Amino acid sequence: MRGSLLLRSMRSSFTNSTSSISTHLTRRGYGTESVPERKVAVLGAAGGIGQPLALLMKLNPLVSRLALYDIAGTPGVAADISHINSRSEVAGYMGEEQLGQALEGSDVVIIPAGVPRKPGMTRDDLFNINAGIVKSLCTAISKYCPNALVNMISNPVNSTVPIAAEVFKKAGTYDEKKLFGVTTLDVVRAKTFYAGKGKIPVADVNVPVVGGHAGITILPLFSQATPKSNLSDEEIVALTKRTQDGGTEVVEAKAGKGSATLSMAYAGAIFADACLKGLNGVSDVVECSFVQSSITELPFFASKVKLGKNGVEEVLGLGHLSDYERQGLELLIPELKASIEKGVKFANQN
Amino acid sequence: MQPTSEANQRIARISAHLHPPNFQMEESFSLRRENCRAKGAGPGFKVAILGAAGGIGQPLSMLMKMNPLVSVLHLYDVVNTPGVTADISHMDTGAVVRSFLGQKQLEDALSGVDLVIIPAGVPRKPGMTRDDLFNINAGIVRTLCEGIAKCCPRAIVNLISNPVNSTVPIAAEVFKKAGTYDPKRLLGVTMLDVVRANTFVAEVLGLDPRQVDVPVVGGHAGVTILPLLSQVKPPSTFTPQETDYLTARIQNGGTEVVEAKAGAGSATLSMAYAAVKFADACLRGLNGDQGVIECAFVDSQVTELPFFASKVRLGRNGAEEIFPLGPLNEYERAGLEKAKKELAESIQKGVSFIKK
């Protein structure tokens, strides 16, 4: 449902709006604008996910300033995107010396930075490179925009979110309501696969996905999917596996050329949009996300969360699980625990 | 959601009635392929993107997958489409996506398609003009248009491949040779010039870019791009310095990005956005929406040149009405003469490429 809300708000970017009631203003202040000013920073904006993500954020009318940061390539990406006739002002920042400026005043920071998987790799294989990247980016966030909502995309999310938390705790800026591992792509996949199998229009479908963001830690709750369908137990098992392996499916189809970029950008934009709506006081903004949580014995867990002016307003419970899902939950907990601990250990040792 | 999909179904049924396959034309080559809507797809249109795995093609494909007017999306390229398709197919929007790889699959990619968007080709590097791309891109466009003439001659064609000033005439010649040419259905995409004009003018005026509309006429390269600042909405005046600055910046917008990318390519993301904005307008026209007006480079009588960009009204048959340029001031009249001179040569270059 919220995917279509994003589409509707973006559609206004595509249709001509020459209802010009605006008076001539001397500077770019649009005094008639009743939508709050919001700055979004994308760290890793010149990458495979970062570029299409930056495009989608440029099209989002809730964004007033867009900062694009990367270690290379951002001047070109920013010049490109800045030509688009939508609301936000774009600025490109390149290299660590400019990271602070990129971050200052940000309301939402989206982090797709890092290297993607190649065929045969798990998300955990990326750990060594991406952990270091995430650590330094989060150190800067705690310095320059400690109150921002952080949307972590860099894999392995199950570990990079705990790393971020440790960095923020060390800096004394940690707010557990403002750190999110982005699991929206798992939800998007679950909905798409469920709709396809059940022959239901995907716009009508909702499926919660809980747990984590890798392999069996991804637990789609098809028993809670709406609308109901007549799928057999075998079909549910197949859908569960397909959702869990969705990322690998794309890595293999791309045969060494990368992992999901466009669908990840799309999902990342949906989640960032939800964060912005929450900040702006829109009610009933609910998305699945990997957050600090007490709904299981693990310190972090993905479930539905309600988003508001301070980030997470409420972590919603798992709801009723089928026997198959309860089994899945038991299986995922040890793996997720290990990934979380790996992240915490890395942050404390380095 | 229910009422909307019922309405869409009614519209799809009505459009199908008004948009029947042209049996007279197709008799010359036997009906090997059913010119019908894809089975299992909801109401909406079938769109093919030729060059879907490229720098423009990928974000373009992502945005078209998000468009509710698209029911089937065919992604064609000579490399990498399986990966791009697998990626995009996971997005939770209604369009069904299919991958087509290599020239052998071009015909299948085009079969039954309502709208073909062509970003295929190589981009500029610093120091190059769009014309420098001519030799490679001309051949690519010819091959793709031969496929279109064979497999979906009634499709609306949105041509992005540069140099547009030449590739559109190339396409026209290919379609004429095949006996399928419909000038209303061949459109060179100049939307990015309009997008840039709106952004740069808004900046100077201190306005929200969404509220500015600048007509841009002529062609799609350097001085052939002619922004009509005297016709800006909301009505505004510009100093001579502002006029010079804006005209130059709009004309060189593409070069601005090529240089900022320092060899890594030309505009991809803004081009994808502009292309989708224009494709969406074409689909709304096909859908029967009224008053859909955008600038496009088309077969035109607005000047003595065979092709020219100006505002066109998009409808069920493509560019159904071409609007004249309207009143031009002296600066613009001078610009028009300059534009026409260069444009005439580019058009001729395209025509000659096929005719020789």
pLDDT tens digit sequence for B209-258: 999 999 999 999 999 999 999 999 999 999 999 999 999 999 999 999 99
Mean pLDDT score across all residues of chain A: 92
Under 8 Å CB-to-CB from B20, ≥6 apart: which residues? none
Tokens representing B184 are: 């209303």
Known binder of ligand: residue B254? no
**CA nearest to A206 within chain B:** B92
pLDDT, tens digit (0-9, with 9 covering 90-100), for A275-309: 999 999 999 999 999 999 999 999 999 999 999 99
Which segments of chain A does DSSP mark as H helices, in order? 2-14, 50-59, 74-82, 99-103, 127-144, 157-171, 184-198, 233-244, 246-253, 262-279, 323-349
Least confident of B13-22, B79-88, B107-116: B13-22
Mutation for B interface: A62, A74, A80, A94, most B CBs within 10 A = A80
DSSP 8-state assignment for residue B219: -
Does the structure show a pLDDT above 80 at B22?
A: no
CA B197 to chain A, closest CA, distance in angstroms equals 9
pLDDT-based confidence at A125, cuts 50/70/90? confident
Cα–Cα nearest to A49, from A258, A287, A190: A258
Nearest CA in chain A to B232: A18
Q: Which of A24, A83, A213, A320 is catalytic?
A: A213
A101/chain B closest Cα distance in angstroms? 20
Cβ distance B90 to A246 less than 8 Å, yes or no, reads: yes
Q: How far apart are CA B296 and CA B217, in angstroms?
A: 8
What is the percent of chain B where pLDDT is above 70?
Answer: 88
In this prediction, the answer to ipTM > 0.90 reads yes
Residue B196 labelled as part of a binding site: yes
* Cα angle for residues A200, A202, A203 (degrees, 5° grid): 120
Instruction: Give the Cα separation of B208 and B206 in Å (integer).
Output: 7
Q: Between chains, do A250 and B196 touch, taking CB under 8 Å as contact?
A: no
> Which secondary structure element, helix H or strand E, spans residue B285, and what is its range?
helix B269-286
User: Least CA distance to B273: which residue of chain A?
Assistant: A84
Q: Which residues contact B86 (CB under 8 A, 6 or more apart)?
A: A249, A250, A253, A254, B99
pLDDT at B31: 33
The alpha carbons of chain A give a radius of gyration, in whole angstroms, of: 20
Chain B nearest CA to A96, separation (Å)? 19
pLDDT value at B319 more than 80: yes
* CB spacing of B1 vs A201 below 8 angstroms: yes
Report the percent of chain A where pLDDT is more than 70.
91
At A17 the pLDDT is 41
Residue B74: active-site member: no
pLDDT tens digits along A2-48: 555 556 666 666 664 433 323 332 334 444 458 999 999 999 999 99
pLDDT higher than 90, residue B2: no
What residue in B sits closest to A266 (Cα-Cα)?
B91
- CA geometry: angle at A177 spanning A173 and A179, to 5°? 70
Of A12, A85, A254, the CB nearest to B195: A85
Please indicate if the annotation marks B171 as binding a ligand: no
- HSE-up (13 A, CA, CB side) for residue A32: 13
Tens digit of each residue's pLDDT (9 = 90 or more) over A157-199: 999 999 999 999 999 999 999 999 999 999 999 999 999 999 9
Chain A residues with CB inside 8 Å of B276's CB?
Answer: 14
How many other C-beta atoms are found inside a 10 Å radius of the C-beta of residue B36?
Answer: 11
Q: Are B294 and B208 in contact (CB under 8 A)?
A: no
For the segment B103-129, what is each residue's pLDDT rounded down to a tens digit?
A: 999 999 999 999 999 999 988 888 888
